[in-house]
């Protein structure tokens, strides 16, 4: 009897072991079974976005989301190069009108110094509807249903989609005007307000008036509350809603429901580029007021997390600690895939969907993946549709030919994975504090100190070690693809090698000679004391320690002691704002494809210490500044190019930056992802992407097919283990 029970137990163990083994061999599919074969694009994000409010958002990872939801007047053509603006929510591209002080109209090619007013008339398309949203829901009497929410109304409401009734309405010119006024609201703190205040007529006065209103309201509330006043708590429970219509804004005028005009104080051709950014996308007043209700703010249901737009996608799920999901906007207006592109686009299949209605994908799923290895492995399994390439996975993914051309490895080719590369319109650099007594200043000896350091910091080596060759050494602030970029080398850092027919970095001996002429032979001053320079940076991650060590070693080659002063990003920002630094790392991604957007980083009037601008090096040269003022508002021309060359020459000589590199992006896509073309200036490109969901499902199964060998092995081991007992039982029965 005991033996039978034991054998029965063994049978159970066999079955259980087989079940466990089988369970362990099923594909590690991270998605719901209901999603299999669906028209969904899967990608990743590394950390939660800080802002999704178009008036506040100013980073690439945030734009990856909001650019699919909001529609400014213009967009960049997906396929054409150089970067070309085309209408989006606007009906056509406006031609600016220029006027002098007497109101006389001027020709289009007039010099900027003659222009007193520039007028942009923008007419928007009719029939564009907003996404379904509770902010537009109305009662039978026409009043907004959810405008005055109380705590009792919030039962079961945790996010926007929990509201049962939704509405919509047509896009109007008022919505564009409302967003411009939001930029001036001091509670929003828009990062581009100081820039637009320089150009839009009356915007500075308007923002000052709103700031005074806010201060008056706060003063009155404090007076009423007395000792118990807590500004933060008070405004969370009862947000302050400023009256945008109380003060005039002469630079923005409504023409009718489908047209408005913006009036600038001077000629500024780059303004069209700003009109392609989310900052100037329409925001309906209904949505703005809806989200400013205290009961919603307390639950973190805000426009900064749940955008409202007219674009191809809407916010479906916002769980920044796990996933962010965008779904197709059922109210999206007619827009079609472009019918023309560059030479070669047709051969690459980029015009196969020409004229077809957008968007193609029903849903975009952004999964939070903080760790590189799991993210990479899931991409290889087919669970993510695209992937960047880390240094750790570079050799596995990319093969460099003898000619220097990058392609995927044979293993990647076997999986049908494609590599898309593009030079980013960005410059990563190191800056000197030009206000500092040691590394700053504008004498020839100070120039030579910075030139020596620029030579020693071998960015060709940096790119190879830390970027796997993904970068182009910079000769000036302007990256490739931007008007004014030149492949001419920096003569203060490079020599021309006639044999190799390319510039070659000057020798370390040349750097040492310059350092000696700067007063620091061997890295020591006249008294024999070593030259010590502080390296202020926000690189707190352990993976950045080798980068910091590289800098220290390069300075040491000159005999200079580089003291690392790593701090968190907030402290680093504070140091930069106060000028409490000497040498620092920085970078700039183009807001728009124009040299002004890079040269302004070195314009004296944008000094970070003096004026709170983006000139982090606090560089100031009157000759350069005068040239910048001439160049910044000019149309592209031979005259503008000549000025750019002179400005570049000044910067190369005085070296306020170590000209680092322009990054080259490497992105991998699976074969089922169609219509992929790198467009670094455009952010709203998800609507053009198409996937073959059936092909993906088939390949996912093949790549993750269950391996039954372990099951057979486990079962065989258990059978062998119980076989003697079975034999003994049979003998006993006989």
| Residue-wise pLDDT tens digits, 177-220 | 999 999 999 999 999 999 999 999 999 999 999 999 999 999 99
User: Residue 87 belongs to what domain range?
Assistant: 46-314
In a domain, 281, yes or no: yes
In a domain, 147, yes or no: yes
The whole-number pLDDT of residue 4 equals 47
Q: Are residues 88 and 194 in the same domain?
A: yes
How far apart are the two ends of the chain, measured CA to CA in Å? 15
The whole-number pLDDT of residue 543 equals 83
The whole-number pLDDT of residue 717 equals 77
Q: Is the pLDDT of residue 372 over 50?
A: yes
The whole-number pLDDT of residue 719 equals 67
Q: What is the rounded distance in angstroms from the CA atom of residue 702 to the CA atom of residue 682?
A: 35
The whole-number pLDDT of residue 720 equals 78
Per-residue pLDDT averaged across 417-446, rounded? Answer: 97
Q: What is the rounded distance in angstroms from the CA atom of residue 368 to the CA atom of residue 194?
A: 34
Q: Are residues 644 and 712 in the same domain?
A: no
The dihedral built from the CA positions of residue 630, 634, 639 and 645, taken in this order, carries a sign that is: positive
Q: Is the pLDDT of residue 345 over 90?
A: yes
Sorted by sequence, the CB contacts under 8 Å of residue 179 that are 6+ apart come out as 54, 55, 279, 280, 281, 282, 283
**Residue in the block written with tokens 């088939």:** 698
CA distances from 311 to 71, 331, 338, 511, 685 (A): 6, 9, 17, 54, 11
Among 30-39, 327-336, 586-595, where is mean pLDDT lowest? 30-39
Going by pLDDT thresholds of 50, 70 and 90, the confidence category of residue 245 is very high
What are the two backbone dihedrals, phi and then psi, of residue 457, each rounded to the nearest 5 degrees?
-80, 85
Whole-number percent of the chain with pLDDT over 90: 86
In a domain, 382, yes or no: no
Q: Is the pLDDT of residue 404 over 90?
A: no
The whole-number pLDDT of residue 24 equals 44
The whole-number pLDDT of residue 318 equals 96
DSSP label at 523?
G
In a domain, 319, yes or no: no
The whole-number pLDDT of residue 6 equals 47
The whole-number pLDDT of residue 118 equals 98
The whole-number pLDDT of residue 529 equals 95
Predicted confidence (pLDDT) per residue in 638-659, tens digit:
999 999 999 999 999 999 999 9
Q: Are residues 543 and 471 in the same domain?
A: yes
Predicted confidence (pLDDT) per residue in 524-564, tens digit:
999 999 999 999 999 988 889 999 999 999 999 999 999 99
In a domain, 32, yes or no: no
In a domain, 344, yes or no: no
Over the chain, what is the mean pLDDT? Answer: 93
Q: Which of 289, 314, 339 is a domain's end point?
A: 314
What are the two backbone dihedrals, phi and then psi, of residue 108, each rounded to the nearest 5 degrees?
-65, -35
Q: Is the pLDDT of residue 492 over 70?
A: yes
The enclosing domain of 270 has a CATH number of 3.90.76.10
Q: Which of 281, 314, 347 is a domain's end point?
A: 314
Number of H helices, E strands in the chain: 23, 25
Contact 683, 69 (CB under 8 A): no
The whole-number pLDDT of residue 714 equals 64
**Residue in the block written with tokens 């929003």:** 188
Q: Are residues 123 and 8 in the same domain?
A: no
Beta strand residue intervals within 320-461, DSSP E? 323-328, 363-368, 386-388, 398-400, 406-408, 418-423, 426-432
The whole-number pLDDT of residue 5 equals 47
The whole-number pLDDT of residue 478 equals 97
Q: Is the pLDDT of residue 22 over 60?
A: no
In a domain, 381, yes or no: no
Cis? peptide before 359, omega within 30° of 0: yes
Q: Are residues 101 and 165 in the same domain?
A: yes
Q: Are residues 8 and 69 in the same domain?
A: no
How many structural domains are present in the chain?
3
The enclosing domain of 638 has a CATH number of 3.10.105.10
Contact 206, 247 (CB under 8 A): yes
Q: Are residues 13 and 54 in the same domain?
A: no
Q: Are residues 504 and 617 in the same domain?
A: yes
Q: Are residues 70 and 217 in the same domain?
A: yes
Q: Are residues 594 and 718 in the same domain?
A: no
Contact 326, 65 (CB under 8 A): yes
Contact 128, 168 (CB under 8 A): no
Going by pLDDT thresholds of 50, 70 and 90, the confidence category of residue 709 is low
CA distances from 106 to 99, 110, 397, 681 (A): 5, 7, 56, 31
Beta strand residue intervals within 415-527, DSSP E? 418-423, 426-432, 471-473, 494-497, 502-505
Q: Is the pLDDT of residue 143 over 50?
A: yes
Q: Is the pLDDT of residue 475 over 70?
A: yes
Sorted by sequence, the CB contacts under 8 Å of residue 551 that are 6+ apart come out as 457, 535, 562
Going by pLDDT thresholds of 50, 70 and 90, the confidence category of residue 713 is confident
Going by pLDDT thresholds of 50, 70 and 90, the confidence category of residue 43 is very high
Cis? peptide before 82, omega within 30° of 0: yes
Assign 522 to helix, strand or coil: helix
Going by pLDDT thresholds of 50, 70 and 90, the confidence category of residue 8 is low
In a domain, 244, yes or no: yes
Taking residue 26's Cβ as centre, other Cβ atoms within 10 Å add up to 11
Q: Which of 314, 342, 365 is a domain's end point?
A: 314
Q: What is the rounded distance in angstroms from the CA atom of residue 581 to the CA atom of residue 563?
A: 11
Q: Are residues 7 and 50 in the same domain?
A: no
Structure tokens at 105: 């109209």
Per-residue pLDDT averaged across 339-348, rounded? Answer: 96
Structure tokens at 629: 């003022």
The whole-number pLDDT of residue 487 equals 86
Structure tokens at 168: 């919509």
Q: Are residues 486 and 448 in the same domain?
A: yes
């Amino acid at each position: 009897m005991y033996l039978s029970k034991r054998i029965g137990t063994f049978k159970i163990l066999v079955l259980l072991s087989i079940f466990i083994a089988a369970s362990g061999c099923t594909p590690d599919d991270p998605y719901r079974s209901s999603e299999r074969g669906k028209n969904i694009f899967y990608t990743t994000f590394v950390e939660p976005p800080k802002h999704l409010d178009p008036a506040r958002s100013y980073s690439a990872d945030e734009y990856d989301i909001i650019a699919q939801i909001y529609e400014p007047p213009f967009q960049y053509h997906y396929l054409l190069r150089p970067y070309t603006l085309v209408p989006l929510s606007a009906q056509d591209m406006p031609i600016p009108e220029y006027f002098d002080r007497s109101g006389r109209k001027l020709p289009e090619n007039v010099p900027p110094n003659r222009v007193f007013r520039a007028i942009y008339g923008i007419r928007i398309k009719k029939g564009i509807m907003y996404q379904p949203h509770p902010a537009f829901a109305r009662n039978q009497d026409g009043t907004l249903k959810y405008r005055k929410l109380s705590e009792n109304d919030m039962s079961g409401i945790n996010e926007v989609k929990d509201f049962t009734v939704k509405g919509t309405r047509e896009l109007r010119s008022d919505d564009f005007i409302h967003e411009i006024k939001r930029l001036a609201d001091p509670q929003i703190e828009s990062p581009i307000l100081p820039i637009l205040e320089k150009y839009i007529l009356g915007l500075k006065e308007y923002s000052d008036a709103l700031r005074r209103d806010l201060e008056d309201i706060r003063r009155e509330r404090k007076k009423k509350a007395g000792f118990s006043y807590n500004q933060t708590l008070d405004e969370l429970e009862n947000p302050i809603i400023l009256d945008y219509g109380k003060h005039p804004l002469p630079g923005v005028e409504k023409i009718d429901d489908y047209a408005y005009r913006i009036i600038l104080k001077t000629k500024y051709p780059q303004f069209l580029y700003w009109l392609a950014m989310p900052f100037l996308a329409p925001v309906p007043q209904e949505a703005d007021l809806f989200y400013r209700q205290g009961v919603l703010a307390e639950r973190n249901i805000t426009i900064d997390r749940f955008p409202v737009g007219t674009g191809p996608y809407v916010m479906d799920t916002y769980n920044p600690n796990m996933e962010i999901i965008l779904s197709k906007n059922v109210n999206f207006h007619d827009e079609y895939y472009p019918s023309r592109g560059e030479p070669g686009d047709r051969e690459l299949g980029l015009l196969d969907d020409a004229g077809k209605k957008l968007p193609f994908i029903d849903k975009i799923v952004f999964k939070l993946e903080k760790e590189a290895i799991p993210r990479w492995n899931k991409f290889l399994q087919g669970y993510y549709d695209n992937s960047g390439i880390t240094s750790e996975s570079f050799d596995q993914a990319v093969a460099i030919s003898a000619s220097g051309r990058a392609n995927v490895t044979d293993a990647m080719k076997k999986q049908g994975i494609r590599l898309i590369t593009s030079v980013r319109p960005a410059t990563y650099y190191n800056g000197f504090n030009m206000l500092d007594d040691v590394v700053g200043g504008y004498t020839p000896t100070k120039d030579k100190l910075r030139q020596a350091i620029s030579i020693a910091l071998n960015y060709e080596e940096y790119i190879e070690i830390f970027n796997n060759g993904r970068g182009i050494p910079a000769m000036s602030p302007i990256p490739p693809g931007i008007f004014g970029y030149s492949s001419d080398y920096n003569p203060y850092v490079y020599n021309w090698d006639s044999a190799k027919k390319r510039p070659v970095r000057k020798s370390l001996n040349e750097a040492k000679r310059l350092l000696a002429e700067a007063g620091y032979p061997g890295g020591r001053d006249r008294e024999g004391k070593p030259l010590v320079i502080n390296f202020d940076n926000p690189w707190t991650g352990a993976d950045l320690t080798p980068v910091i060590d590289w800098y220290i070693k390069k300075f040491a080659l000159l005999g200079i002691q580089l003291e690392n002063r790593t701090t968190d990003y907030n402290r680093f920002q504070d140091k930069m704002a106060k000028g409490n630094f000497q040498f620092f790392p920085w970078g700039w991604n183009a807001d728009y494809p124009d040299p002004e957007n890079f040269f302004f980083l070195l314009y004296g009037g944008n000094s970070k210490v003096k004026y709170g601008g983006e000139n982090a090096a606090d560089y100031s040269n009157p000759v350069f500044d005068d040239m910048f003022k001439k160049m910044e508002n000019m149309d592209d021309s031979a005259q503008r190019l000549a000025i750019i060359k002179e400005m570049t020459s000044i910067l190369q000589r005085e070296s306020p930056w170590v000209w680092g590199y322009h990054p080259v992006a490497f992105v991998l896509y699976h074969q089922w992802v169609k219509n992929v073309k790198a467009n670094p200036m455009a952010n709203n490109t998800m609507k053009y992407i198409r996937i073959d969901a059936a092909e993906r499902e088939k390949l996912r199964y093949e790549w993750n097919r269950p391996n039954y060998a372990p099951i057979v092995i486990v079962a065989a081991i258990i059978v062998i283990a119980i076989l003697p007992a079975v034999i003994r039982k049979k003998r006993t029965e006989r």
